[in-house]
């Protein structure tokens, strides 16, 4: 290009080479994971939605290709010095990406597990609050709530001179306040220092007298520095006397005065003025350091509670967990000692029983309170057979074992520990001095301990002095803006002091989304992973407005999403598929909504256009006539509610985010069932009881937690199909000739596994402060087995080859083995035919792990008395996958089981037999039963937000007579 052409292009006369790259992200030859060498052009500064069935390659394209390359290029633009701290980033398998911006990922996996991290610290609102209170706050005494402010001598003199004329007063220097002792040395030194009088316990005495004090009584001693009458001309003497007083008493001066009276008799109505030149309460001596932001930080030793170091809780052994079954005899009641050889401890308990009159066969709940306390917390005991010794107590013994034991012992004892609120700060994390500081009418806890909506109201209603307002104005603006961002993404029910580790994936992601809006960046590529997770339909509009606001700032948003409302609101849609795993990885449709709806091969388009429909069943199940009744539930925000859960039905628990669904099911119902079935956990205290527990013989939670935390765990081992496969290989002629048993084909025990990697296929490299790195084993090359084991073949395939098969391939391969077919077919039924049998559990998504658990339960023989508790099973699932999931759930219920699902997905709710709707709002405005009944009945309830959206979807998909409620 000539200089003339270049100048012309700059002036706008000629198109600059690749000018379209300013408005386009061009991807060529993407082959990461299952992507099939795809080419794609994406418009910049638009809201782009990647959709498609689960496992089709959406995350591979969005996160592992586009975001990974954007992050890698940014990091490589930094200096070599900076890069050494960030590490080397692998280049994704893609030929080229052009027009890429610096990328920021907002996903669900980066929720902080640090107990010090809170909603306030993650959003940085707490940092602004610390600055606000540190610069504009007013310190108060934590004991008497008196306002504390340092005063100069001039201010003290001005205050004294406000007394009435002829007022008599004394200047006292408090040198002892509420301390026991005779204080002879102090009195003697005061006399030798030239002082004449002291006031002891309210009585003025001469130092020349012989003063005898009771050493066992607390005394207050104040030195009389001067006695004056208020009149003009005493200011100079008053200044000198106050200076002497402050020096002697370390900054405190007491003015004891008798108001002027016309009577000739002296008045006995004495009053006090207390001054301090320090940040200290003049009455209680509570010392405050000068206010600064660090005083309000629970991550700093200057502000953190000294007992819990700012965490707000202490890990302590719970009596309820240590003794989970009070009806058990003493020798079996203490759970940690009943799991191993406990003859030593039984001898101690026997001696204790001899000393305090109980037998080991006595039920725990029949012991006296004194006996129970002695067993748990210790006492000195004597018996006929043993000399006098100290019994430390069960809890102290366990505490000592936990603190000084090995990692294995600590791991075993973890189950008996709970987080108890710190007894010093009561869970408030800060020192009393910090908690006593006020800004206007509020303490810092009054702003962090209430919902974000309430916090915003209090910030708006702050009553500040002119000086405080001038200091706080800019900070308050920033706090209001950040609080508004949180309100915009539907998190009004959270509190700023809520630990970040207790947030759901969707909540944590929306918090980071609100933080990014606050940053105000432009020209950035944001990649989001299903931000609508855990969000009620009512709040979807607020989330979409937030996303469009981020786009309108001049950013490009790529959102991996299945939510219909988000897909319809997108500027550009990319549908990846057509199937999952090896059947996916292709671009099926791209463009606007119309292009998606008209794409024949698109499953997403088929459901959105109505070509495929999840039908609403015409008949709701009657159930088995039994039910569970929860009485007076009042944990967290639940408001003393009674809930009846019918059995033999598919029941959904719904409600806006934060309304109390998880509290009711996961924190109350499930522990109560565990207590009833196994007696290993205590019955929850926050409810009066549950009726109908005897109708349940098994309770299973199917959540999105991993099926294993190491590469050893995989779908084959979890579902039990690997046991069948090992039996098949051990029955081959080659295996019998070599004398191989099924254990030879296990990679978890010595024998047939590769010992270089202990059967993992990878070696773990510990990186100290960085995450562990997994490197493929150089001996077996990831096969997990030694050469002799791999020589045994079944249908020309080794055991390692079988583990590398997809579920669909294995189903065909083992079609003549009924036990294997049963388990493999259920994996296909839940839509997991594309995953590999030996795929490490650590590589499965939360939705995939949840469906592996569902498939495992589906393959078991039904008892008809099982209750399944499932928490948002549609997370990460497309319309097609939800359809398959509903088929599975309906099959489980048809076997006579009961399913209780926490869900926001309207397709699941309308296909349920019974709906329990909580609300009306989230947080402290929720926790009530709003509606209960069939989906049709809830849809007619005007108070239910769920009902309002349910009514619309029932009109769109009216009930149809179907088989299993989902065809």
pLDDT of residue 17: 39
The three-class DSSP label of residue 245 is helix
- Is 655 annotated as belonging to a binding site? yes
Complete DSSP assignment for 472-515: HHHHHHHHHHHHHHHHHTT-TT-BTTSBGGGS-HHHHHHHHHHH
> What is the pTM for the complete model shown?
0.78
- Is 57 annotated as belonging to a binding site? yes
- 936-966 per-position pLDDT tens digit: 999 999 999 999 999 999 999 888 764 444 3
- Is 77 annotated as belonging to a binding site? no
| Buried b or exposed e, range 34-64, using 16+ CB within 10 angstroms | bbeebebebebbebbbbbbbbbbbbbbbbbb
Task: Tabulate helix, strand, coil % of the chain (nearest 5).
Answer: 40, 20, 40
Complete DSSP assignment for 97-143: EESPPPEEEE-STT----TT-BHHHHTTHHHHHHHHHHHH-B-B-TT
- Is 2 annotated as belonging to a binding site? no
Q: Tell me the range of 336-340, 535-539, 783-787 where mean pLDDT is highest.
A: 783-787
- Is 915 annotated as belonging to a binding site? no
pLDDT band at 20 (very low <50, low <70, confident <90, very high): low
Q: What percent of the chain has pLDDT over 90?
A: 42
pLDDT band at 88 (very low <50, low <70, confident <90, very high): low
- 419-430 per-position pLDDT tens digit: 888 999 999 999
Question: Hey, what are 546's tokens?
Answer: 């937030």
For residue 218, what is the DSSP state? E
- Is 943 annotated as belonging to a binding site? no
Does the pLDDT of residue 265 top 90, yes or no? Answer: no
pLDDT of residue 87: 66
- Is 504 annotated as belonging to a binding site? no
Interaxial angle between packed helices 125-136 and 466-488, expressed in degrees from 0 to 180 and rounded to the nearest 10: 170
| Buried b or exposed e, range 270-305, using 16+ CB within 10 angstroms | eeebebbbbbbbbbebbebeebbbebbbbeeeebbb
Backbone angles phi, psi at 796, to 5 degrees: 65, 20
Q: Where are the domains of the chain?
A: 4-111+504-609, 153-276, 313-421, 616-706+848-960, 715-843
- 874-930 per-position pLDDT tens digit: 888 899 999 988 998 998 899 889 999 999 999 999 999 999 999 898 888 899 999
- 35-73 per-position pLDDT tens digit: 999 999 999 999 999 999 988 999 999 999 999 999 888
Does the pLDDT of residue 354 top 90, yes or no? Answer: no
pLDDT of residue 610: 92
CATH assignment of 715-843, among 1.10.3720.10, 3.40.190.10, 1.20.1580.10, 2.130.10.10: 1.20.1580.10
Which of 151-155, 278-282, 313-317, 647-651 has the least mean pLDDT? 278-282
Please give the average per-residue pLDDT across 83-103, as a whole number: 84
The three-class DSSP label of residue 560 is strand
**What CATH topology corresponds to 616-706+848-960?**
Rossmann fold (3.40.50)
pLDDT of residue 6: 35
pLDDT of residue 605: 95
**What CATH topology corresponds to 313-421?**
Helicase, Ruva Protein; domain 3 (1.10.8)
Closest C-alpha among 348, 430, 417, 354 to residue 389:
348
Please give the average per-residue pLDDT across 797-818, as a whole number: 93
Q: Which residues are within 8 A (CB) of 524 and not within 5 positions of it... i.e. 6 or more apart? A: 101, 102, 103, 104, 555, 556
pLDDT band at 634 (very low <50, low <70, confident <90, very high): very high
Q: Which residues are within 8 A (CB) of 259 and not within 5 positions of it... i.e. 6 or more apart? A: 164, 167, 267, 269, 271
Spatial separation of the C-alpha atoms in residues 835 and 145, rounded to whole Å: 64
The CB-side HSE value for 269 (13 A sphere, CA atoms) comes to 7
- Is 55 annotated as belonging to a binding site? yes
- Is 658 annotated as belonging to a binding site? yes
Does the pLDDT of residue 497 top 70, yes or no? Answer: yes
Does the pLDDT of residue 750 top 70, yes or no? Answer: yes
Question: Domain 4-111+504-609's class?
Answer: alpha beta
Is 153-276 in the same CATH topology as 4-111+504-609? no
The length of the chain is: 967
pLDDT of residue 393: 85
The kind and range of the H/E element at 16 are: none
Complete DSSP assignment for 660-707: SHHIIIIIIIHHHHHHHHH--SPPPTTSSEEE-GGG-SEEEEE-SS-S
The three-class DSSP label of residue 927 is coil
Please give the average per-residue pLDDT across 614-638, as a whole number: 92
To the nearest 10°, report the CA torsion of 474, 480, 482, 488: -150
pLDDT of residue 109: 63
Task: Please give the mean pLDDT across all residues of the chain.
Answer: 86
Question: Looking at per-residue confidence, does 547 or 346 come out higher?
Answer: 547
pLDDT of residue 810: 95
pLDDT of residue 390: 66
The CB-side HSE value for 108 (13 A sphere, CA atoms) comes to 22
Closest C-alpha among 498, 831, 585, 821 to residue 31:
585
Q: Which residues are within 8 A (CB) of 539 and not within 5 positions of it... i.e. 6 or more apart? A: 490, 656, 657
Backbone angles phi, psi at 176, to 5 degrees: -135, 130
Spatial separation of the C-alpha atoms in residues 273 and 259, rounded to whole Å: 12
846 to 63, 505, 705, 812, 823: CA distances (angstroms): 16, 11, 6, 27, 20
Q: Given the DSSP bridges, would you call strands 94-98 and 24-30 parallel, antiparallel or unpaired?
A: antiparallel
- Is 798 annotated as belonging to a binding site? no
Which of 259-263, 504-508, 599-603 has the least mean pLDDT? 259-263
Question: Hey, what are 944's tokens?
Answer: 């239910």
Spatial separation of the C-alpha atoms in residues 441 and 305, rounded to whole Å: 23
Cβ atoms of 141 and 284 closer than 8 Å: yes
- 431-466 per-position pLDDT tens digit: 888 998 999 889 999 999 999 999 999 999 998 888
Which of 354-368, 745-759, 770-784 has the least mean pLDDT? 770-784
CATH number of 153-276: 3.30.190.20
Spatial separation of the C-alpha atoms in residues 591 and 614, rounded to whole Å: 25
- Is 660 annotated as belonging to a binding site? yes
- Is 79 annotated as belonging to a binding site? no
Spatial separation of the C-alpha atoms in residues 557 and 778, rounded to whole Å: 41
- Is 58 annotated as belonging to a binding site? yes
pLDDT of residue 127: 94
810 to 709, 816, 830: CA distances (angstroms): 24, 11, 16
Spatial separation of the C-alpha atoms in residues 549 and 378, rounded to whole Å: 62
Closest C-alpha among 895, 882, 885, 785 to residue 830:
885
Q: Tell me the range of 276-290, 445-459, 668-682, 852-866 where mean pLDDT is highest.
A: 445-459
Count of Cβ atoms closer than 10 Å to residue 340 Cβ = 8
Does the pLDDT of residue 380 top 80, yes or no? Answer: no
The three-class DSSP label of residue 886 is helix
Please give the average per-residue pLDDT across 563-579, as a whole number: 95
- Is 938 annotated as belonging to a binding site? no
- Is 261 annotated as belonging to a binding site? no
- Is 53 annotated as belonging to a binding site? yes
Which residues face 444 on adjacent strands?
Answer: none
């Amino acid at each position: 290009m000539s200089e003339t052409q270049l100048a012309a292009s700059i002036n706008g006369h000629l198109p600059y080479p690749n000018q379209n790259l300013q408005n386009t992200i061009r991807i060529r030859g993407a082959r990461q994971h299952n992507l099939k060498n795809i080419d794609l052009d994406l418009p910049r500064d638009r809201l782009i939605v990647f959709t498609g069935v689960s496992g089709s390659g959406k995350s591979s394209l969005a996160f592992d290709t586009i975001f990974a390359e954007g992050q890698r290029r940014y990091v490589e633009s930094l200096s070599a010095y900076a890069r050494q701290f960030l590490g080397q980033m692998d280049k994704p398998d893609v030929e080229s990406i052009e027009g890429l911006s610096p990328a920021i990922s907002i996903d669900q996996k980066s929720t902080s597990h640090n107990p010090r991290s809170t909603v306030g610290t993650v959003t940085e609102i707490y940092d602004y609050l610390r600055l606000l209170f540190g610069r504009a706050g007013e310190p108060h005494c934590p004991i008497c709530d008196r306002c504390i402010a340092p005063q100069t001598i001039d201010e003290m003199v001005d205050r004294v001179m406000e007394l009435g004329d002829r007022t008599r007063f004394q200047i006292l220097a408090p040198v002892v306040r509420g301390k026991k002792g005779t204080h002879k040395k102090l009195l003697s030194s005061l006399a030798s220092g030239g002082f004449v009088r002291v006031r002891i316990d309210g009585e003025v005495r001469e130092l020349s007298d012989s003063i005898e004090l009771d050493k066992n009584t607390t005394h207050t001693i104040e030195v009389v520095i001067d006695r004056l009458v208020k009149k003009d001309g005493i200011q100079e003497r008053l200044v000198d006397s106050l200076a002497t007083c402050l020096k002697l008493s370390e900054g405190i001066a007491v003015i004891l005065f008798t108001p002027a009276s016309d009577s000739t008799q002296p008045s006995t109505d004495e009053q006090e003025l207390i001054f301090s030149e320090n940040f200290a309460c003049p009455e209680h001596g509570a010392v405050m350091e000068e206010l600064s932001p660090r005083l309000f930080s629970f991550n700093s030793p200057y502000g953190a509670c000294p007992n819990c170091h700012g965490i707000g809780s202490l890990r302590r052994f719970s009596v309820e967990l240590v003794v989970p079954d009070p009806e058990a005899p003493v020798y079996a009641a203490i759970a940690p000692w009943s799991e191993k050889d406990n003859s030593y401890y039984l001898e101690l308990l026997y001696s204790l029983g001899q000393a305090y009159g109980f037998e080991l066969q006595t039920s725990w709940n029949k012991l006296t309170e004194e006996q129970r306390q002695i067993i748990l917390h210790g006492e000195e005991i004597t018996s006929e057979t043993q000399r006098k010794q100290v019994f430390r107590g069960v809890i102290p013994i366990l505490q000592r074992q936990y603190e000084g034991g090995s990692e294995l012992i600590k791991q075993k004892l973890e189950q008996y520990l709970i987080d108890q609120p710190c007894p010093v700060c009561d869970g408030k994390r800060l020192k009393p001095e910090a908690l006593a500081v006020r800004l206007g009418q509020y303490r810092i806890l009054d702003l962090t301990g209430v919902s974000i909506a309430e916090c915003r109201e209090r910030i708006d209603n702050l009553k500040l002095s002119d000086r405080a307002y001038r200091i706080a104005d800019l900070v308050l603006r920033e706090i209001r803006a950040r609080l508004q961002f949180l309100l915009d993404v539907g998190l009004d029910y959270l509190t700023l002091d809520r630990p970040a580790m207790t947030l759901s994936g969707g909540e944590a992601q929306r918090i980071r989304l609100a933080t990014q809006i606050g940053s105000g960046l432009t020209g950035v590529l944001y990649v989001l992973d299903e931000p609508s997770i855990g969000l009620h339909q009512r709040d979807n509009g607020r989330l979409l407005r937030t996303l469009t606001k981020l786009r309108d700032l001049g950013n490009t948003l790529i959102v991996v999403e299945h939510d219909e409302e988000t897909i319809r609101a997108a500027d550009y849609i990319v549908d990846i598929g057509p199937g999952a795993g090896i059947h996916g990885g292709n671009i099926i449709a791209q463009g606007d909504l119309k292009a998606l709806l008209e794409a024949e091969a698109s499953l997403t388009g088929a459901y959105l256009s109505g070509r495929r429909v999840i039908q609403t069943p015409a008949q709701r199940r009657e159930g088995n006539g039994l039910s569970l009744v929860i009485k007076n539930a009042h944990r967290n925000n639940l408001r003393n509610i009674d809930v009846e859960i019918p059995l033999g039905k598919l029941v959904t628990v719904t409600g806006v985010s934060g309304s109390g669904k998880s509290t009711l099911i996961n924190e109350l119902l499930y522990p109560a069932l565990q207590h009833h079935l196994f007696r290993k956990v205590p019955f929850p205290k926050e409810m009066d009881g549950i009726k109908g527990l005897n109708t349940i013989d098994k309770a299973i939670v199917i959540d999105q937690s991993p099926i294993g935390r190491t590469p050893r765990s995989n779908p084959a081992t979890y579902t039990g199909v690997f046991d069948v496969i090992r039996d098949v290989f051990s029955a081959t002629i080659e295996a019998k000739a070599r004398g191989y048993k099924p254990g030879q084909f296990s990679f978890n025990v010595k024998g047939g596994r590769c010992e270089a990697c202990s059967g993992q296929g990878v070696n773990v490299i510990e990186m100290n402060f960085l995450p562990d790195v997994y490197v493929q084993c150089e001996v077996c090359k990831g096969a997990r087995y030694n050469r002799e084991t791999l020589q045994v073949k079944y249908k020309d395939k080794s055991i390692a080859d079988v583990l590398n098969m997809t579920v669909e391939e294995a189903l065909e391969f083992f079609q003549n083995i009924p036990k294997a077919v049963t388990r493999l077919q259920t994996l296909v039924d839940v839509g997991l035919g594309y995953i590999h049998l030996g795929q490490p559990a650590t590589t499965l998504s939360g939705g995939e792990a949840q469906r592996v658990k569902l498939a495992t339960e589906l393959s078991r023989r039904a008892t008809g008395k099982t209750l399944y508790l499932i928490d948002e099973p549609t997370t990460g699932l497309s319309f097609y996958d939800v359809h398959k999931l509903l088929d599975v759930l309906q099959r489980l219920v048809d076997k006579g089981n009961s399913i209780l699902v926490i869900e926001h997905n309207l397709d699941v709710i309308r296909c349920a037999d019974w709906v329990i709707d909580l609300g009306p709002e989230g947080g402290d405005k929720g926790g009530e039963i709003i509606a209960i009944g069939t989906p049709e009945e809830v849809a007619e309830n005007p108070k239910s937000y769920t009902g309002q959206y349910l009514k619309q979807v029932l009109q769109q998909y009216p009930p149809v007579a179907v088989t299993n409620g989902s065809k």
